[in-house]
Amino acid sequence: MTLNDLFHRHQVAVMRADSARSSEARVAHRGLAAGYAALIVDMQRGMGIVNPRPVLAK
């Protein structure tokens, strides 16, 4: 999976959390977004970025 794939999946998870009709779905999608954010930071570090900025969800 590429960095762009992770950014895309993160953004989709954030949008789904924002439009979720239940608190359970909102929590689940925010959890996915947080997981993708962690993967993005890990990948950036692997690319040699010394202090990657974490992706923040609402």
Check residue 53 and give its pLDDT: 79
Mean of the per-residue pLDDT values of the chain: 92
d(CA 32, CA 24): 12
- What are the tens digits of pLDDT across the range 6-53? 999 999 999 999 999 999 999 999 999 999 999 999 999 999 998 887
Per-residue three-class SS string for the chain: CCHHHHHHHHHHHHHHHHHCCCHHHHHHHHHHHHHHHHHHHHHHHHCCCCCCCCCCCC
